[in-house]
Amino acid sequence: MNDPYSVLGVSPSASDEEVKRAYRDLARKYHPDNYHDNPLADLASEKMKEINEAYDTITKSREQGGGASSYSYGGSAYQSAGQSRSTGKNAQYVQIRNLINANNLAQAEAMLNAIGTHDAEWYYLMGSVYWRRGWMDQAGQYYRTAATMDPGNPEYRNAVQYMNQGGQAYRPAGGMGGSMMGGDMACNMCQNLICADCCCEMCGGNLIPCIGCR
């Protein structure tokens, strides 16, 4: 295993507070919410595991304060296509969801194209294929069609909402929060952060320590 201090990017002489700060910044960077339906989600979760292990190793070896263990991000509230909702009404769609989740986009698209009637689920899954491929404009159009066809479905609604609101990604501290959408990014960022914190707290985690408590 790599040196836990170099994993967190701090020196072995760093104070507990510095270690915690470095850990928090990295945890924020590789948080699953930043890799929402992202083809690199597996790499990010490996990185997260490495960081958690490094932090646990350091806190255990220091044996101070007792039990300051890492965040558990395992059960993040975000839903990626393929891991949610067992509607079970259409085995083919389940299979396509699994393909999308395994990043096998070409096959997922081929299967979708082979389906004759296009219902809301079809548009949603096609949107997911485009999304993962980086075709953000097309993905948005398909998500919107899915939500229009089945307005009661929370998954489709969430996808449209996520699309319209601009999503989220890590921004380092210190004024590096530029936005492609114009206007004030800080406002969006706060919204995203608070939303992400609520999601984390539902799962027992905590993103903003001063709002919740660790």
Partner 1 sequence: MYGYVRPVKGELKVSELERFRGVYCGLCHELARRYGFWSRFLVNYDFTFLAMLLAEDAPARTCPRRCPAHPFHKTECLESCQSLQTAADMTVVLGWWKLADGAADKSFPASWACRFACRALKGAYDRAVSRQPDFAAAVKEDLGALQTLEKEKCPSLDAAADKFASILRSIAGGIEDPARQRAAGELLYALGRIIYILDAADDLADDIRADSYNPLRYRFAPVDGRLSPEDEKVLRTSMQHSHNALVSAYALMGENVYTGILSNTIYLGLPAATQAVFAGTWNTSAKIHRKRSSI
- Map tokens 């070896």 to a residue: 61
- Map tokens 């393929």 to a residue: 82
> Please, which residues have CB within 8 angstroms of residue 41's CB and are 6 or more apart in sequence?
32, 35, 80
> In whole angstroms, how close is the CB of 135 to partner 1 at the nearest point?
4
- Helix (H) or strand (E) segment spanning residue 155: helix 154-165
> Which lies closer to partner 1 via its Cβ, residue 58 or residue 160?
160
> Which lies closer to partner 1 via its Cβ, residue 88 or residue 175?
175
> In whole angstroms, how close is the CB of 55 to partner 1 at the nearest point?
18
Residues 127 and 33: their CA atoms lie apart, in Å, by 19
**Residues at the contact surface with partner 1, assessed by CB under 8 A:** 29-30, 34-35, 38-40, 43-44, 47, 130, 133-138, 140, 163-164, 166-172, 175-182, 185
Residues 164 and 184: their CA atoms lie apart, in Å, by 16
> Please, which residues have CB within 8 angstroms of residue 206's CB and are 6 or more apart in sequence?
71, 197, 200, 212, 213, 214
> In whole angstroms, how close is the CB of 89 to partner 1 at the nearest point?
30
> Which lies closer to partner 1 via its Cβ, residue 139 or residue 200?
139
> Which lies closer to partner 1 via its Cβ, residue 44 or residue 94?
44
> In whole angstroms, how close is the CB of 184 to partner 1 at the nearest point?
12
Kindly state the tokens that stand for 64. 């101070």
For residues 139 and 159, is the Cβ–Cβ distance under 8 A? Answer: no
> Which lies closer to partner 1 via its Cβ, residue 138 or residue 153?
138
> In whole angstroms, how close is the CB of 197 to partner 1 at the nearest point?
18
